Amino acid sequence: MLNVPPLPAPASSDTAVPAKSTPLDEAQKTATASSQGQQNLRNAQILEASLQVSLQTGNDSLALLYRTAVDAINQELAPELGPDAIQNAMGQDHSAQATAGRIVGLSTAMFDAYAARYPDKELAEVAQDFVELIRGGFEQGYQEAEDILNSLGVLGADSPVAAGIAQTYELVHKGYDDWLQAKLGALRGDAAPSAPADATPAVPGPATAT
Is position 90 within any domain? yes
Number of domains making up the chain: 1
Is position 41 within any domain? yes
Between helix 123-151 and helix 160-188 the angle, nearest 10°, is: 180
Q: For position 101, what pLDDT does the model report?
A: 93
Is position 206 within any domain? no
Q: For position 156, what pLDDT does the model report?
A: 83
Close Cβ partners of 156 (under 8 Å, ≥ 6 residues apart) = 162
Q: For position 154, what pLDDT does the model report?
A: 82
Is position 104 within any domain? yes
pTM over 0.75: no
Is position 3 within any domain? no
Is position 172 within any domain? yes
Write out the residue range of the structural domain in which residue 43 sits.
37-188
Is position 173 within any domain? yes
Nearest CA to 138 out of 163, 170, 172 is that of 172
Report the chain's mean pLDDT, rounded to a whole number: 72
Tell me the pLDDT tens digit for each residue of 79-116: 877 776 665 434 456 789 988 998 999 899 999 999 99
Is position 28 within any domain? no
